[in-house]
Amino acid sequence: MSWQTEDVLFDGDRYFDSLISEWQRAKDTIDFEVYIFENDPIGQQIENALLNAASRGVRVRVIVDGIGSSGWWQTRGKELESKSAGGIEIRVYHPLHITELWRRLLIDFHIISPERRPKKSLFLRRLNRRIHRKVSLVDSKVAHVGSINVSKVHSERVSGASAWRDTAARVTGPHIADLKFAFSHTWIRSHPIHATSGPRPSRLRFLFAARSKGPDSLVALNFTRRLRRFHRLKFVRKIDLAQQRVWIENAYLAPPSNIVRKLVHAAKRGVDVRILVPNRSDVWFMPLIARAYYRPLLKGGIRVFEYQNRFLHAKSLIIDDAVTIGTSNMNRRSFLHDLEVDVTLNHAESVHVMCRQFEIDLQNSIEIKSRGTVVGSRLGRILNYLIRYWV
């Protein structure tokens, strides 16, 4: 199975242009979810495009993360919803409401007793689980998925040569139903922007379409434990079945030990395994933590590269003749905590342009040759041990 159409986008400006172009053609609905929504030139451009769509009678729904967009939803978000006179609905996923956090902390310390005592910390679960997805759905027919937030850091027009290197995809086809369902699932569990301190959102049960968990599914979602486990096992299975190449491009490298072992086994079978990560990051300690993994990767025959020109924020994977693009990082946060989405592309042209872009990125990178001279690897191992739950 495959998408009807696939288009790969390698920079923020092309992504925003494509996004707004689709919104201008929207007839019925726009569903948009994003981790970071900034009040900057790009944010204002996106706001205007949403307002224009709402003014034509299009139903616009927006979900933002309570931490990632905390500075936006409490000010600009409320203004945007009011300005649209109900044409734009905005909800917040896991806002940091002090009363709710305090209640969860009291439960963790057994000071108050809930009806059902949780196995894990409610406080950490609330604080740590974020919506990391970046998805736009237009009329349930056209979808944009990738690692690009609403921020000027992704735009070369605004930020110049320092703009982040990202990857996204525009797709059409029946699998968009899975993305639509995931949006609805999160929508009912998010807080209306003008009532974030009210009752907790509904916990109605959903039955996810069986095909989304089938071997031919092109959408990987993780909003339930079962889906997390299924797609984690599917990812491992793909590595086991790889014959030619496993090329990984990821902004935050801190993989679970079983993933490291699988990659090493693939390299020892003769598969061309390469990992490309940024030399610098928006999170100062992430390059140090990534370097903590270089020793076992290099020892196992895997080639590791560091991107030099600017921050590489892309999350993509090429395994043989299939490409995966989305929001998942190669770390515990994506595997265990955050809500993520990835789409698999298998058109020959998509694979070709992704491989070509990967090779271009390698030309702007430095290969790590010696595992004994990696600066910061020891400090990275210490940091990774201390904050592994958060990373």
On whether residue 220 sits in a domain, the answer given is yes
On whether residue 202 sits in a domain, the answer given is no
Task: Among 212-226, 236-250, 301-315, name the one with the lowest average pLDDT.
Answer: 212-226
Provide the pLDDT for residue 202. 57
Provide the pLDDT for residue 150. 98
- Look at residue 208 and tell me whether its pLDDT is greater than 60: no
Per the structure, the count of domains in the chain is 2
Q: Same structural domain for residues 186 and 219?
A: no
Provide the pLDDT for residue 283. 86
Confidence of residue 146 (pLDDT cuts 50, 70, 90): very high
Provide the pLDDT for residue 336. 85
Q: Could you tell me the residue range of the domain that residue 54 belongs to?
A: 5-94+129-192
Provide the pLDDT for residue 40. 97
Provide the pLDDT for residue 213. 55
Q: Same structural domain for residues 138 and 224?
A: no
On whether residue 210 sits in a domain, the answer given is no
Confidence of residue 225 (pLDDT cuts 50, 70, 90): confident
On whether residue 306 sits in a domain, the answer given is yes
- In angstroms, rounded to a whole number, what is the distance separating the alpha carbons of residues 68 and 93? 10
What's the rounded mean pLDDT across residues 373-380? 57
Give the three-class secondary structure for 348.
Answer: helix
Provide the pLDDT for residue 126. 56
Q: What is the pTM of this model?
A: 0.89
On whether residue 120 sits in a domain, the answer given is no
Label residues 49-85 b or e (16+ Cβ within 10 Å = b).
bbeebbeeebebbbbbbbbbbbebbeebbeebbeebe
Q: Same structural domain for residues 183 and 300?
A: no
Q: Same structural domain for residues 133 and 233?
A: no
Q: Same structural domain for residues 272 and 314?
A: yes
Q: Same structural domain for residues 379 and 296?
A: yes
On whether residue 31 sits in a domain, the answer given is yes
User: Among 159, 192, 225, which residue terminates a domain?
Assistant: 192
On whether residue 197 sits in a domain, the answer given is no
What's the rounded mean pLDDT across residues 197-218? 56
Q: Same structural domain for residues 144 and 269?
A: no
What's the rounded mean pLDDT across residues 312-335? 95
| Backbone φ and ψ of 70, nearest 5° | -60, -40
- Look at residue 212 and tell me whether its pLDDT is greater than 60: no
Confidence of residue 198 (pLDDT cuts 50, 70, 90): low
The tokens for 35 are: 């981790």
The most confident of the ranges 57-71, 197-211, 285-299 is: 57-71
Confidence of residue 86 (pLDDT cuts 50, 70, 90): confident
pLDDT tens for 346-373 read 999 999 999 999 999 999 999 998 755 4
What's the rounded mean pLDDT across residues 254-263? 93
- Look at residue 209 and tell me whether its pLDDT is greater than 50: no
Q: Same structural domain for residues 155 and 227?
A: no
pLDDT higher for 380 or 62?
A: 62
Can you list the alpha helix ranges (DSSP code H) found in 224-375? 225-241, 257-268, 286-291, 294-299, 332, 348-363
Q: Same structural domain for residues 186 and 275?
A: no
On whether residue 103 sits in a domain, the answer given is no
Provide the pLDDT for residue 359. 98
Average pLDDT, the chain: 87
> What is the CATH classification number for the domain harbouring 338?
3.30.870.10
316 exposed, middle or buried (CB, 10 Å; 0-12, 13-18, 19+)? buried
Length of the chain: 391
Provide the pLDDT for residue 211. 45
Q: Same structural domain for residues 248 and 327?
A: yes
Q: Same structural domain for residues 282 and 180?
A: no
Q: Same structural domain for residues 188 and 225?
A: no
pLDDT tens for 6-32 read 999 999 999 999 999 999 999 999 999
